[in-house]
Structure 1
Amino acid sequence: MTLAELRYKLAPYGEAWIEKGTFSIVYKATEEGSGKTVAIKASRVSRMIKRPILQHEIRIMQLLKGHVAIPVLYGYGHLEHFEYMAMEPLGPSVAEQQKEGAGVMIKTVVRIVDQALAALQHIHELGIVHRDIKPENLLCSLEDPSIIKIIDFGISKPFSRDQPNKYDPLKERRHIIGSVYWASLNSHNGLELAPRDDLESLALVALYLLRGSLLWKPRPRLESLMRSQEIVRLTKTSYSGQDMSAGFPNEFGELLSYSRSLPFNQFPDHKALRCIFATLAEGMDYSSDTEPLDWTPCHPNFSDTTVDEPILPDHEEYEDEIYDKDKDERPKDSYWGMDIDNWDRLGNRDKDLTLPSEQEAELDNITPLIVEVLIPWCDW
């Protein structure tokens, strides 16, 4: 099978930048020949790297394609300095739509939860766990802003049916999987993640949208990651679904409680959960799903907006290891200017972020190749 070869040109410097992530930047670009506008996700990585992150993400998205919540992919290329992924442009994220400190209309949160549950059912039925559900990864479609798309499958992986692996994040000085603010308790406790953990993160997203905040605060920028993880873990452990949903429909707290109650290898009943929220919407006489999502800010009146934060002793186990650049054995940068400023050096992705080799080859064979990305403001 001969794959199509794609060429793209990034938009002019002041118009190109769409989003910056931890390991990548998303740009607006135009496809040569068709003139189609696309989003290009770029991650700086050497051709010597055999297991780059975006290649894995492309494979996962090819596996999941066909569902309305999965963005349309156009192509992938691993060129000399970067790997690139081309996909449909998307609108603002749920995080961007919410006004800072304000809640979101209950009817809007119900519709977001329903769409996310349908998407997670599709993802989980194909044997994948997302592992990083958060408002920043739920985006509105450009064509129909009432449709929610899920992005960022870079750390998604097949989930195990065996007993979960476990580690101690604090003693082993390891980061938890996902984002600290949205991660499940299992992630904080070092347990391998399963579909139940995607549901728990979705429940936290829903409660955040309703309340405008959660009971654990975003951590100070200069605080050690070990300390941040432990403070958030202890705070999350202290509050049940019922506590978190006080003043709102019980269904949202029940979603959190249900996700936390599931054994590792039990598949969630997505359909039953969707029925629960459909009944809630019907009981509250909410309008049709065809109407635009209502992002009118709400200011809920509840008393538990502040909590006593756990106080950890000053101890070395809560502090991060100090980075010693003189002992860094990774290849040194050979790039210049904005390249060094905007991208971290990346190595091979973890081996557990891997599909069966035959499946990877099959997915690679259906992905059009990006053979050139022209960057107008660079001369290399």
Structure 2
Amino acid sequence: MPPRRKEKYKLPIPLPEGAVLDDMEGKQWVLGKLIGSGGFGLIYLAFPTNKPDKDARHVIKVEYQENGPLFSELKFYQRAAKKECIKKWVELKKLDYLGIPLFYGSGITEFKGKSYRFMVMERLGIDLQKISDQSGTFKKSTVLQLGIRMLDVLEYIHENEYVHGDIKAANLLLGYRNPDRVYLADYGLSYRYCPNGNHKQYQENPKKGHNGTIEFTSLDAHKGVALSRRSDLEILGYCLLRWLCGSLPWEWSLQDPVAVQAAKTNLLDELPESVLQWAPSGSSCREIAQYLVCAHNLAYDEKPDYQMLKKILNPSGIPLGPLDFCSKGESLNMHAPNNQQVDSRKAATKQVYQVQNTLIGRKGHRERSAESRTPRRKVQEEKQPTGLFNSETVPVVF
């Protein structure tokens, strides 16, 4: 039985270090040091009893059994993110990795008369919020690479009927043993937008409005609409803009969700100029403007063209290198010869409009007029993923 949603979740009493937990498959795990806590749960280092390791490669997330977020995250992994499924996807799409933390087991344990739910996960490293707090902004090449890596993850979870709903720097973690890899973590707020192939219908509900992390949440979430794929893409777009520019136009209004919603509406309605004008002096947000144009033009139940979005972030297909979180310095120009001026607002605007016009002209695409913004009631029939990464396509990497 799922936990009751209306209960107020409580942070659990810590379990003792050294406790042995039995997961549902009979594997035993030893709790190590308590290393963190969230709104409703605790995180411990852990290792299997048959492989003790001072440098733990696993963590265990613990909550009271009646709490909700860990239950939701567990269901996501059981339905959509088993290790063998991720492995097959990586092979199908010819990726070097997929940034979803690996799941190793789960179970229920008792302590002092209370029932605890636990999940055993891959251990990860530092989150990007801590890095952002130190540096303020990231290099442009790093921002675009993060966008591409997150699109890989979103395509996978969307194809498996889920949206993440809370993409932000605090939920992006570097690999523990390989810090050149980035992972999207925390699926406690993930939402099954298309259960059994039946897409949720568009319905505004003011009582559920402004859900999510207010700084990044989508316009649909502000309106109380159940999240769909376009919400994840919109949230990611705001993150990219924040990481590159250091701030967002509504950061001074975060205590007023209605004002934040209005500012986001203005930004999207005035694309691409609104994003291009937000860029710091000497920088260009052209790729992010193009990306947001595409995300904003999606219908509520429309399947995104993930490959096109990745090409927008890296049109030259330059191979991915290590993630670079050093001081921002000069933005890298990856899109034109050195003698070509690409950062002028006029040239950037022209290129974004070309992308926008191409979108509008594509077969089956509907313009985002007031009428076309009304969601479709019939879900598009979509084929299984077969051709987004064909044999002629090299994975988009920096």
TM range (shorter): 0.5 to 0.7
Aligned position for 1:180: 214
Change (3 A) 1:251 1:132: same
Aligned pair count?
277
Determine if the alignment matches structure 1 residue 235 to structure 2 residue 255. Answer: no
Counterpart of 1:159? Answer: 193
Q: How has the CA–CA distance of structure 1 residues 101 and 230 changed in structure 2, closer, same or farther, with 3 Å as cutoff? A: farther
Conserved? CA contact 1:39–1:89, under 8 Å? yes
In structure 2, stretches of 5+ residues that fail to align are 1-22, 91-97, 332-398
Seen in structure 2, the aligned counterparts of structure 1 residues 218 and 101 have a Cα distance that, compared at 3 Å, is farther
**Distance in 1 (alpha carbons) for counterparts of 2:140 and 2:249:** 19
Amino acid at match of 1:234: A
TM-score by length of 2: 0.64
Kindly, what percent of the aligned residue pairs are identical? 26
For residues 173-231 of structure 1, the C-alpha deviation after alignment (integer angstroms, 9 at most, x for no partner) is: x45332111101111111121000000011111111101111122667xx5xxxx3222
1:296-343: per-residue Cα shift (whole Å, max 9, x none)? Answer: 223799xxxxxxxxxxxxxxxxxxxxxxxxxxxxxxxxxxxxxxxxxx
1:96-115 equivalences in 2 (<5 Å) = 96-100=130-134, 102-115=136-149
**Aligned residue for 1:298?**
328
1:264 aligns with 2:300: yes
Deviation at 1:162, TM superposition (A): 4.5
By how many angstroms is 1:7 displaced? 2.9
Determine the structure 1 residue equivalent to 2:288.
Answer: 252
Q: CA deviation at 1:108?
A: 0.6
2: CA distance between counterparts of 1:177 and 1:189?
Answer: 9
What amino acid is the match of 2:244? L
CA contact (8 A) 2:135 2:327 kept: no
Partner of 2:81: 64
Question: In the alignment, is residue 95 of structure 1 matched against residue 116 of structure 2?
Answer: no
Matched ranges for 1:103-252 at <5 A: 103-160=137-194, 161-168=199-206, 172=207, 174=208, 176-217=210-251, 228-240=256-268, 241-242=271-272, 243-246=274-277, 247=279, 248-252=284-288
The 1:115/1:35 distance shift into structure 2, 3 A limit, reads same
The structure-2 alpha-carbon separation of the partners of 1:219 and 1:3, relative to structure 1 and needing over 3 Å to count, comes to same
Residue 200 of structure 1 aligns to a residue whose secondary structure is helix
* Equivalent residue in structure 2 for 1:84, among 115, 118, 136: 118
Q: CA distance change for structure 1 residues 281 and 218 in 2, over 3 Å: closer, same or farther?
A: farther
Indicate how the Cα distance of structure 1 residues 23 and 257 shifts in structure 2: closer, same or farther if over 3 A, else same: farther
Deviation at 1:45, TM superposition (A): 3.0
* Counterpart code for 1:297: S
1:276 aligns with 2:312: yes
The answer (yes or no) to whether the contact 1:61–1:70 under 8 Å persists in 2 is no
> In 2 relative to 1, CA 7–191 (structure 1 residues): closer, same or farther, beyond 3 Å?
same
Alpha-carbon offset, residue 31 of structure 1: 2.3
Residue 11 of structure 1, aligned match among 29, 32, 36 = 32
Q: Which has the higher contact order (CA 8 A, sep 6+)?
A: 1
1:39 partner letter: V
SS in 1 for 2:237: helix
Q: CA RMSD in A?
A: 2.6
Secondary structure, in 3 states, of the residue corresponding to 2:106? strand
Tell me, yes or no, if the aligned pair for 2:193 and 2:200 is still in contact at 8 Å.
no
Amino acid of the structure 1 residue aligned with 2:102: V
